[in-house]
Amino acid sequence: MNKKRLERLSVVLSVVIVVGWGIFWGTQVVAVQEMLKLAYG
């Protein structure tokens, strides 16, 4: 693969990873808050 194409692919993948990471851990934090609410009201 030539370098320009690899660079473009890398950027797209990286953005997907950053967004996906935010969603995954974001929902974990929400889950934590839910459980805290359940536990302590």
Find the binder of other proteins among 6, 26, 27, 34 (CB under 8 A). Answer: 6
Q: Min. distance of Cβ 30 from other proteins in angstroms?
A: 13
CB of 41 to other proteins, least distance (A): 15
Tell whether residue 37 is a contact of other proteins (CB under 8 A).
no
Give residues with Cβ within 8 angstroms of 9, minimum separation 6: 1
- Cβ partners under 8 Å of residue 1, min gap 6: 9
30 binds other proteins per the rule CB under 8 A = no
